[in-house]
Chains A and B, each alone.
Chain A
């Protein structure tokens, strides 16, 4: 596609519910990142994929968070048993080869846990 696409744009979940957030990166982009952005803050790194391999998941806040990219394109971020502190905007970004190339961001999914 022309840009990074994320769905849904908004998600309201009841506390304890599982959610799945989807990211469709720019076609051909090897690298894919997930970030969490709390209100009024900068994006915080969650995890990174190079093709289908998850090379870094050090930013995932708990074992309730799980991300996958099984075929090296679309990625899903899953949050189990959501808590109020999970409320944030979840941003996905993709980039081509390394070397500090530009990361292209999607519009994010705003998750509200009630």
Chain B
């Protein structure tokens, strides 16, 4: 069965600094998709970044980038120049693309002014 593990329940970062959130997953599939979602107190899950497993190049979206290590089944999120608005729960998610998204337990990110 596919699983997604986030081993950091909570992380803190100083404003303008860089932080990395960890995610590992387990799957026997070769084709799949990985996501990082942000969930602020409003509860709305917002897509931060997406990575296709068949792509070797790491995805980047402005201040957000990933380190995708397929062999190690690792998918970490790096947030550069952290801003107060980045404070939220961050969830790593996996899907084979058929339908079911499997989520990790989340990492709460605190940004310190």
CB within 8 Å for A98 and B99 given contacts A42-B105, A42-B106: yes
- Please determine whether A89 and B43 come into contact, CB atoms closer than 8 angstroms: yes
Q: Shortest beta-carbon distance, A11 to chain B, in Å?
A: 14
Chain B residue with Cβ nearest A41: B105
- Please determine whether A102 and B47 come into contact, CB atoms closer than 8 angstroms: yes
A61 to B72, CA, bound (A): 33
A96 at the B interface (CB under 8 A): no
A110 to B42, CA, bound (A): 11
A98 to B99, CA, bound (A): 7
| B50 / chain A contacts, CB cutoff of 8 Å | 100, 102
| B35 / chain A contacts, CB cutoff of 8 Å | 102
A106 at the B interface (CB under 8 A): yes
- Please determine whether A55 and B44 come into contact, CB atoms closer than 8 angstroms: no
Q: Shortest beta-carbon distance, B102 to chain A, in Å?
A: 7
A65 at the B interface (CB under 8 A): no
Interface residues, chain B, with chain A CB atoms under 8 Å away: 4, 6, 32-33, 35, 37, 42-47, 50, 52, 91, 95-106
Interface residues, chain A, with chain B CB atoms under 8 Å away: 31, 33, 35, 40-45, 48, 50, 55-56, 89, 91, 93, 98-100, 102-108, 110
* 5 residue pairs, one from A and one from B, having the closest CB atoms: A100-B33, A42-B103, A100-B97, A105-B45, A108-B43
